[in-house]
Structure 1
Amino acid sequence: MQKFLFLFITTMGLATASASTVDTVAIYSPSMQKTIKCVIIKPNHYDDSTTRYPVAYLLHGYSGSYASWVETAPNLKEYADDHQMILVCPDGGYNSWYFDSPINPERKYETHVSKEVVSYVDDHYRTIPDRNHRAITGLSMGGHGAFYLGLRHPDIFGAIGSTSGGVDITPFKTNWEISEQIGDTINHKDNWKNMTIINMIDKYPTDDLSIIFDCGTDDFFYKVNKALHKKMLDMHIPHDYIERPGEHNGEYWKNSIEYQLLFFKNFFARNPDEK
């Protein structure tokens, strides 16, 4: 009995020592002149090795925060271990849509996430600091944000994703304070035309991006996701698209992120670290 108890305690101790860890850090944003929080999940053995890791960035949705993804999908810690990657959950503000707002110079969440957060993570963690080992995805507003940042910064992100994403904002002109970020649809109609994903696909190179997105068939964003999928097929843009039963809720996103992280793991594996 004593031998069994000793083995049990030893095994539990090893499991605890090798479990993933969650850091909440404060990142100063020079572009917005304020400090913004961010969650960073490190895989097991990070603290007792010299290994460098690929990174997946997860963007939250409207009214969310840096803590939303961990609350929605507690299994993220297990996925960090299983896939041996660092997961980063930035804060995109209550309703930023991850734009550098063309009408409000105080809101620069595109710069914050794509430049300031990425630089902080690469400076403070053992990452593989290149586009072939960085991916970005998000839910709802964050799905729009991940595509928006990925398309505009292919030198930073090599793989992009979206789950239940607002990939076409034009049918939702009065929703979620989007007009507070890019202006009204009369005086700033070009912003609505040029800053939505389904139109950006025409203008930004996708040849060197790995792309995955999905949406539930009972989601209010289902039609715009299906339309984006059709347009990408017509344009012969390689991508993985998944639709399955589901609504715009945490249950769907918790299920979806498991498959998206596996997609990113496979992307990283095709691009071994040459350092």
Structure 2
Amino acid sequence: MNKVRAFWIVLALLFSSPVWAFQSRVVAIPSAAMRQSFDATVVLPDDYARGNHTRRYPVIYVLHGSGGDYTDWTSNSRIGRLADRYHVILVMPDGGHESWYIDSPFNRDSQYETYVGNEVVAWADAHLRTIATKQGRAITGLSMGGFGALRIALDRPETFGAAGSISGAVDPRACEDEPGIAHVFGDPARHASYWNRNAIIVRARDFERDHIDLTIDCGVSDDFVSSNRTLHQRLVELGVPHDYAERTGGHTWAYWSNAIRYQVLFFANAFRRNGGYQQSTRA
């Protein structure tokens, strides 16, 4: 191959390959409920900065799992590219190591449902060019974050139009041995009623009422696959529309970094269908 031909081939590859120019930044988001601020990762699509400065974008809130933090998704996956591909804002808040994203009645310093479901959303709408309607918001997460995303969406159907769970711990009653969980759920024997009524499986009927676009997936080798199958079957019995998938894999980043691609595609389709991509010239 001569040098001239090689040059043109390289040039063609450069212009045909996608250029990922999303912006990733760490911000501090205050919590009145917990009287402190927590860091979060925000990813903005490339055209957010260089395009029409009156354009507004739908937002996907992506939650980390137990023992993780706000850097997990960007450190372990290529999630940022999805912001460019689907023209969405991604917000990845810190949910504490073992908060389970609930407002714990047993630990007043752990009020992460209010923080993520109310305060983070309010911050995003105030500081970013978001589409501040339920049709322009989705929430998902992995493991503990999958539980948190579904619970937050169930409790705030006026806020989130779509929700997802990846390898979700949808039945905390199967996680009694998880370090730290009793600090927020209480002792599983003495406070069994609290554990029971907060299991997503028990609350499946609420999805029937709330009309949330719903997607759930889990790896076939994941310890949580049984509870996810039970939730799926319950939703089928209730006639609740939802997307459910099992794929090869376990409770690992190899699975999660692949699954998030399908979930963001699902949310993008929901935004298009429900008007969540509508642009605004409002300042």
With the length of structure 2 as denominator, give the TM-score of the two structures.
0.89
Asked if 1:105 corresponds to 2:108, the answer is yes
Residue in structure 1 matched with residue 87 of structure 2 by the alignment: 84
* Cα shift at 1:231: 0.7
1:150 aligns with 153
Change (3 A) 1:58 1:23: same
Say which of 60, 66, 69 aligns to 1:56: 60
In 1: Cα distance, 2:246 partner to 2:209 partner? 22
CA distance, structure 2, for counterparts of residue 37 and residue 190 of structure 1: 33
Q: Aligned-pair distance for 1:97? A: 0.4
Match of 1:127 among 117, 127, 130: 130
Q: Aligned-pair distance for 1:204?
A: 5.5
- Name the structure 2 match of 1:201: 204
Residue matched to 1:191: 194
Q: Is the alpha carbon distance of 1:139 and 1:264 closer, same or farther for their aligned partners in structure 2, counting shifts above 3 Å?
A: same
Provide the C-alpha distance between the structure 2 equivalents of 1:183 and 1:202, rounded to a whole number of angstroms.
Answer: 25
Letter in 1 for 2:49: D
- Provide, for residues 145-187 of structure 1, a one-character-per-residue CA deviation record: whole Å limited to 9, x for no partner: 0001011111111100000000011122222322110101222
1:152 touches 1:204 (CA, 8 Å); kept in 2? no
Q: Indicate if the aligned counterparts of 1:163 and 1:214 stay in contact, CA closer than 8 A.
A: yes
* Structure 2: distance between partners of 1:183 and 1:152: 20
Matched residue count: 266
SS in 1 for 2:268: helix
Write out the 4+ residue segments of structure 1 that deviate beyond 6 Å after TM superposition. Answer: none
The Cα offsets for residues 181-215 of structure 1, whole Å up to 9 and x where unpaired, read as 01012221111011111011134554421000100
RMSD of aligned alpha carbons:
2.0
Gaps of 5+ in 2: none
Secondary structure of the residue that 2:256 maps to in structure 1? helix
Residue equivalent to 1:220: 223
Deviation at 1:136, TM superposition (A): 0.3
In 2 relative to 1, CA 206–164 (structure 1 residues): closer, same or farther, beyond 3 Å? farther
Shift of 1:78: 1.2
Cα offset, 1:19, TM superposition? 1.2
Q: Deviations over 1:13-37 (max 9, x none)?
A: xx98x81100100011111011100
Distance 1:122 1:166 in 2: 29
Which runs of no fewer than 5 residues in structure 1 stay unpaired?
none
Kept after mapping to 2: 8 A contact 1:72/1:253: no
Q: Which among 112, 117, 122 is matched to residue 114 of structure 1?
A: 117
Contact 1:219/1:247 (CA < 8 Å) preserved in 2? yes
Percentage identity across paired residues of the two chains: 41
Give yes or no for contact 1:211–1:238 (8 Å, CA) kept in 2: yes
Separation of aligned partners in 1, 2:210 and 2:32: 32
